[in-house]
Amino acid sequence: MSGKTKFILAAVIVVAVTSIASIWAFSRTPTSSPPEFHNSTTYTDPGWTFPPESEPVTPLPDFRPVIAKVKPSVVSVTTETVTSDFFGRQYTESVAGSGILIDDEGYIVTNNHVVESADSIYIELADGRTFSASIVGTDPLSDLAVIKIDGTDLPHAQWGNSTSLSVGEWVLAIGNALGEGITVTEGIVSRLNESVNVEGITLYGLIQITAAVNPGNSGGPLANMSGEVIGITSVKIVASGVESVGYAMSSDEARPIILDLIRDGEVTYPWLGVGLRTVSPLLAAAKDLSVDRGALIVELLADSPADAAGLREDDVIIRFGGQQISDVADLVRAIRRSEIGQEIEIVFVRGSDTRTTSAQLIERPTR
């Protein structure tokens, strides 16, 4: 039976039922009169007023003073790279990003992935002035880079202290979103001290934020409500069903790296020579470990400081240089904060025994 037929039949049934109902209604003799409606003053209250208003909701903070303070130090970064197509024909590829002027002489912090392999770098200031820039130093492990323009009395950002941040605190992400000029998005701090793996490289000391982060924001500042830079926007998660999950490298994590790049043009890291995995209660149960926290050694390189210290695979490092180690991020950051050549005490668990050794850290091999 077609849909149209079904509709017609339904209409006929409705008419039939309606007709029957009408006949019944008109043929029925009422046995009693309906009750009369009377106004009542039972519930009236001449003295009634609206309940007192609740306390006013706290309004959003005024972001305008923060923007006015930080925006002049934010720059648009455009890089050009000459490349070749399948037929060997050359063409120029452009990439847009952001950066932060950190002094009045033209030093700019940005992300390594914004400027790596660039043949030319161009900078536009918030006031419209343009400059060409040169690379001072880059660090792929932290995805940070420092570039420089020639200028004096340039507007620069105030560097803040990210250790004072709290979850729920308001922050602003400012940058050259989509390559269309400097824009601002607001959000809050979602989590602190996060680590994220990006194309095989793990970034540590990240701030997770809800502020919208788009292509072109990379390298721009994350500012607190005092107008201080407390992070460098680095990466966002792009996946179906994922909303507003962006990350910025904390200012305290970035500070020593920036100093090394400006002073030496590169960053050197202390090295222990191990591959690691975070110990969780689930992993501890699966591998029959006697501890449920720490950094499990899953790979140990021959002739490394760890090898010389007598460490083995399946040892769990729980303290490093006096610092408690709960996961891999703790250990990596503790190593990076140490000095090359420094002798470090390491407390580890082997089986059910807790042991102590020491290792002399060396410079991380380049390959």
Polymer length in residues for the chain: 367
Cα–Cα nearest to 143, from 217, 227, 69, 233: 233
Distance of CA 299 to the CA centre of its chain: 29
Catalytic status, residue 143: yes
Q: What is the dihedral of CA 61, 64, 70, 76, to 10 degrees?
A: 120
- 143, 260, 315, 330: the catalytic one is 143
Cα 122 from Cα 198, distance rounded (Å): 26
**Where do runs of H (alpha helix) occur along the chain?**
3-27, 64-70, 112-115, 251-264, 281-287, 305-308, 328-336
Write the CA distances from 344 to 117, 189, 196, 327, integer angstroms. 37, 34, 27, 18
- 218, 234, 251, 304: the catalytic one is 218
- 76, 98, 113, 338: the catalytic one is 113
- In this structure, are strands 158-159 and 144-148 parallel, antiparallel, or unpaired? unpaired
Amino acid letter, 253: E
Burial of 2 (0-12, 13-18, 19+ CB in 10 A): exposed
Catalytic status, residue 315: no
Cα 148 from Cα 130, distance rounded (Å): 13
Catalytic status, residue 218: yes
Q: Mind giving me the DSSP string for 75-123?
A: EEEEEEEEEE-TTS-EEEEEEEEEEEE-STT-EEEEEHHHHTT-SEEEE
Cα 332 from Cα 337, distance rounded (Å): 9
Cα 254 from Cα 232, distance rounded (Å): 8
Residue owning tokens 């039976």: 1
Amino acid letter, 119: D
Cα 330 from Cα 257, distance rounded (Å): 18
Residues forming the active site: 113, 143, 218
